[in-house]
Structure 1
Amino acid sequence: MAELSSLSHARYGKDKVRVLRVVREGSWHHVVEYSVQALLEGDIDVSYTKADNSVVVATDSVKNITYYLAKTSPHILNPERFALHLGTHLVSKYAHIHKAFVTIEQLRWTRIPVETDGQSEPHAHSFYRDGEDKRIVKVEVDATAGKNQIVGKVTAGINDLLILKSTGSAFTNFVRDEYTTLVEVDDRIFSTSVDLSYTFGQFNIPAPKDEKKLDFVVPKAEPGSIWDVEVPEKARKVTLETFATDDSASVQATLYKMAQQIIADNSGIQSVTYTLPNKHYVPVDMKYIGVDNITPLTEAEVFTPLAAPSGLISATISRKQ
């Protein structure tokens, strides 16, 4: 029978590799918790088309490599660097693997403050979950041009950062036609769950020089570059401060200001994407019992959350070339 199909794309690996790593500096400990996905591309077609497993690096091996590097990598405390280390090792170790795609979701752990001699100090080895937002890192390590010409691409950011302000937001002068029922408001609750991603420009990765291909060299960290460990906290700070202080004309307008500032602050970032779903809070109408709970700014105080439907606002802002 004539072939009617062909394999046009293939990628495989391990997902949801859960890692908690403790790094000890004497009595002072650091912890990170990651969920790791590591996927591979390369000369693997025959495993699909010919049932030939000789080209398959088992997904269980990918899991074990992830754990081994979590133990041995000096970059484990930084998800961007650890993802790049893992991806570089995978494409360097296996001759027929040309690309690695590593995604890391980092959960929040913050030191518990304790009272010591009248002062609040962070505890050396005790932590608490201080929020449900997560750091997200997505890395592509590409050795297609050769094992000595590896290039990296990184997108990083935040997911599920829930924020709310009770005033300082309006929504007026929008399109009105026969389908419009929404009332214009010059004051409202503004709440959203922030998904932020920012993408760095492509960069070269030095090839490992050791026999086991475990070496990973981090170059000088230029401010605002992928190697600058302060970028994630700066981006989070811009997001929160802009949201809090902007006299918002719309979600769209505030989003744009956030992204503009992140690009201005970080020379290595080429584009910024925000996805901001509305978290609607609607004032409860109490006119039936003679109570005004509708008038903005003065009387609207009791609200009901509406889960669905919700607005969804997204945009990508790119650096001018």
Structure 2
Amino acid sequence: MSSQSVLASARYGKDLVRVFRVVREGSWHHVVEYNVKVLLEGNIETSYTEADNSVVVTTDAMKNITYYLAKISPHILSPERFALHLGTHMVSKYAHIHKSFVTVEKLRWSRIPVGAEGQEQPHPHAFVRDGADKRTVEVEIDASAGKDKIVAKVSSGIADLLVLKSTGSAFTGYIRDEYTTLREVDDRVFSTSVDLKYTFAPFAISAPTDAKGLDFPAPSQDTPGGVWDGEIVAERVRTATLEIFALDESASVQATLYKMAQRVIAENADVQTVTYNLPNKHYIPVDMKYIGVDNTTPSKAEVFVPVAAPSGLISATISRKQG
């Protein structure tokens, strides 16, 4: 075999572990549905370089641990806390595993309102998928410095949040040269599929105290805007994104994006960075001049063709100012 190559890095694991959990509090039920990915790093290089499987934690075991913790973890209803619990267990159980990477995608389920109009109440155990957007959580658990010196990094976010407004958006004043065919508009349809990630400051995790490494002593409370406050932060971030999108008299996608991120950082004390990816969803007015109908003047444009590609893509990361 060639001596000119070296294994620079390696991680492996299980992807697309689908988990649905019902938590019963008498007749009042909670449900969560997750797609989970687990990756491991550590002293596993010989499985690649020497075909030595004795260092391999099987991906089947990773899947089964995920299901088992989904059953016993008191943190299952919070994707941040559940991911931290799962990742911490992985590095605590296996001496040669030094890092774990857990990604959780949470699908939307909301209670169905029932009752007379104006007096609706959320049903205790009936739910509806009320949107295609998903909450996302990415956790890195690092025990490289020792099993009693675990450090966690957490990023959360939203994916596939499709939004549109039919006015309140313009795009003018950009560079015009021989390659520019785009017309300036002071009123246009603005639509995008929001993909955002917000990252918390790294923090220490207490090592499990039980022999099997299943204990996870998460605090019951956290400062507002912190990772243990994940459900409230997620709702705050979603609300900020939607409200800024709706209310901003947008001069550009870039300008609106920046206002969204500013509010997320201002409202959540432990969020360090916010990254938005906002692809344009184009709606092109149909030209009806051939039959004497004006459908291209912005104030008269009412019939559009949705165009999937090509698409503009606006992206930026906004960080908390230090000092």
Q: What CA deviation, in whole Å up to 9, does each residue of 1:145-186 have, x standing for no partner?
A: 000000000111000000000000000000000001100000
Name the counterpart of 1:24. 24
Alignment of 1:216-227 (within 5 A): 216-219=216-219, 220-227=221-228
Shift of 1:31: 0.4
Name the counterpart of 2:181. 181
How far apart, in 1, do the equivalents of 2:133 and 2:127 lie? 16
Matched, 1:296 2:303: no
How far apart, in 2, do the equivalents of 1:2 and 1:59 lie? 29
Name the counterpart of 1:308. 309
Alignment of 1:181-200 (within 5 A): 181-200=181-200
Name the counterpart of 2:37. 37
Name the counterpart of 2:63. 63
Alignment of 1:230-249 (within 5 A): 230-249=232-251
Distance 1:2-1:176 versus aligned 2 partners, 3 A rule = closer
SS in 1 for 2:70: helix
SS in 2 for 1:119: coil
Matched, 1:264 2:244: no
Q: Which amino acid aligns with 2:24?
A: R
Q: CA RMSD in A?
A: 1.0
Q: Which amino acid aligns with 1:311?
A: G
Q: Which amino acid aligns with 1:235?
A: V
SS in 1 for 2:115: strand
Q: Which amino acid aligns with 1:251?
A: V
Alignment of 1:1-321 (within 5 A): 3-115=3-115, 119-219=119-219, 220-228=221-229, 229-297=231-299, 299-321=300-322
How far apart, in 2, do the equivalents of 1:291 and 1:45 lie? 69
SS in 2 for 1:230: helix
TM (normalized to structure 2)?
A: 0.97
Shift of 1:302: 0.9
Distance 1:2-1:113 versus aligned 2 partners, 3 A rule = closer
How far apart, in 2, do the equivalents of 1:111 and 1:159 lie? 21
Aligned residues: 320
How far apart, in 2, do the equivalents of 1:243 and 1:68 lie? 40
Runs of 4+ in 1 over 6 A off after TM superposition: none
How far apart, in 1, do the equivalents of 2:181 and 2:2 lie? 59
SS in 2 for 1:132: coil
Q: What CA deviation, in whole Å up to 9, does each residue of 1:74-106 have, x standing for no partner?
A: 000000000000000000011000000000111
How far apart, in 2, do the equivalents of 1:193 and 1:28 lie? 34
How far apart, in 1, do the equivalents of 2:24 and 2:255 lie? 45
How far apart, in 2, do the equivalents of 1:263 and 1:34 lie? 26
Distance 1:191-1:118 versus aligned 2 partners, 3 A rule = closer
Q: Which amino acid aligns with 2:295?
A: N
Name stretches of at least 5 consecutive residues in structure 2 with no aligned partner: none
Deviates more, 1:220-229 or 1:255-264: 220-229
Q: What CA deviation, in whole Å up to 9, does each residue of 1:267-293 have, x standing for no partner?
A: 100000000000000111111111111
Shift of 1:50: 1.0
Q: Which amino acid aligns with 1:143?
A: A
SS in 1 for 2:227: coil
Distance 1:15-1:282 versus aligned 2 partners, 3 A rule = same
SS in 2 for 1:82: helix
How far apart, in 2, do the equivalents of 1:15 and 1:183 lie? 45
How far apart, in 1, do the equivalents of 2:117 and 2:174 lie? 57
How far apart, in 1, do the equivalents of 2:274 and 2:131 lie? 23
Q: What CA deviation, in whole Å up to 9, does each residue of 1:7-54 have, x standing for no partner?
A: 111101111000000000000000000000000000001111111111
Distance 1:15-1:115 versus aligned 2 partners, 3 A rule = same
SS in 1 for 2:77: coil
Distance 1:129-1:257 versus aligned 2 partners, 3 A rule = same
Deviates more, 1:42-51 or 1:109-118: 109-118
Name stretches of at least 5 consecutive residues in structure 1 with no aligned partner: none
Shift of 1:2: 5.3
TM (normalized to structure 1)?
A: 0.98
Deviates more, 1:272-281 or 1:110-119: 110-119
